[in-house]
Structure 1
């Protein structure tokens, strides 16, 4: 990738920071996405999204890491939140506030009770991670790109993935569209064929429309399984971090998240 072109993109890049909604979407049927989780810092009230992947595990993005996180299950309207659940946070050890490795698991201190409004979403199959082009994104984030206006009710949008190549890192899925996730949708899922194939990592403004970056879940299944097996004994697991070049690292250090 040409370094000048790369740096130009970095200057335009906007993460879906905590406190970051779906632009151009529609209101979801209440409790129709029971795997979706509302995540909030209990002190600052900054918020993001996640998905329940086991009764005691929520998957979200590492850029959602905050000091006093609580998760809320079975939420449709954020003005009517249930009792929050405290968590232990396990961000990916290779995440460096730039595209790539933007994933985190939250271990609930109280296991979820599964019912019609709280369910688990499936993760990709490690032997077949082909991504369908017609997918669904959702969240409570801003309904406008240029003005922070979070939604109190869950919104969703069908997206068509166009070109999965030429993205920042091997574990990043990029898609350009005039509508999509915005500020507040960080950590929300990219659902393709009923499977959580990606999670919202960042978005950036382009000449026409916006580019959304999703963390490709299938690239992190080994790490996910290790954390789910023994979260308090294994944080890094067998993960090997591949550092970016010093030139790129210097260029991106001030422009992410």
Structure 2
């Protein structure tokens, strides 16, 4: 489906297609209370509708997601306030701004999408905070959310949002300076790319990839705080 691949030992979290049934979402997680995560964004290519990623709203006119999603989402539409992907609202067109140094491998896997029609904020559509230069310390107890598969070894597409509490065992960098790795038997899977890693109510990471290891799976998250200067340049181009 999604042809981009970081390296042979890593399994990219490809886009996924909605399905049916109640066995869905992040591996080992549980179904979110409908509209309890109103910052979550569903992204779909308007032509190749099987190509999808997750994202999250960071300003009325900007969504954050993973840069590798740009490889398949050439004509993206953004859907806000979604719970069940079988019932999508009107999509919003967006312009994509992949991380400036992204090279289709781990590192710099971050993308901003500017909505051509800014979101109207309400009970089902809200913004999530990003870390700040003076407060980028991460808590270890976090939450990961997405519409991805329920199984690592078998593609099990989702329809409704699912979430999982994760405890980061090691905050040291892995592979690249802006990547956090966490080993856990449960976590994001195929279709969760671009979703947020939320720690203390702040979007500290972006789901980037996973890799099968001897004791389980390692998930790689792009650390948002490492890209604050670039984020400010894209979102506020006319301000110093």
With 20-29 and 48-57 compared, the bigger mean Cα shift is at 20-29
Equivalent residue, structure 2, for 1:59: 64
| Alignment of 1:104 onto 2:111 | yes
- Is the aligned partner of 1:18 residue 2:38? no
Q: Find out whether 1:147 has 2:154 as its counterpart.
A: yes
Question: Greater CA radius of gyration, 1 or 2?
Answer: 1
Q: Which one of 79, 83, 88 corresponds to residue 90 of structure 2?
A: 83
**Helix, strand or coil for the counterpart of 1:88?**
strand
Matched residue SS, 1:19: coil
Moved runs in structure 1, 4+ residues, more than 3 A? none
Q: CA deviation at 1:10?
A: 4.0
User: Alpha-carbon deviation of 1:150?
Assistant: 1.4
Equivalent residue runs for 1:173-188 within 5 Å:
173-188=180-195
Worse-matched range after superposition: 146-155 or 186-195: 146-155
Higher helix share: 1
Query: How many Å apart are 1:130 and its aligned residue?
Result: 1.0
Q: Which runs of 5+ in 1 are unaligned?
A: 1-8, 238-257
Residue matched to 2:39: 35
Deviations 1:14-55 (A, max 9, x none): 011233841000000000000000001112221110010000
Structure 2 gap ranges (5+): 1-5, 18-24
* TM-score for both structures, normalised by structure 1: 0.85
Give the whole-Å Cα distance in 1 for the aligned partners of 2:131 and 2:102: 21
Whether the 8 Å contact between 1:18 and 1:63 is mirrored in structure 2 is no
How many residues align? The count is 225
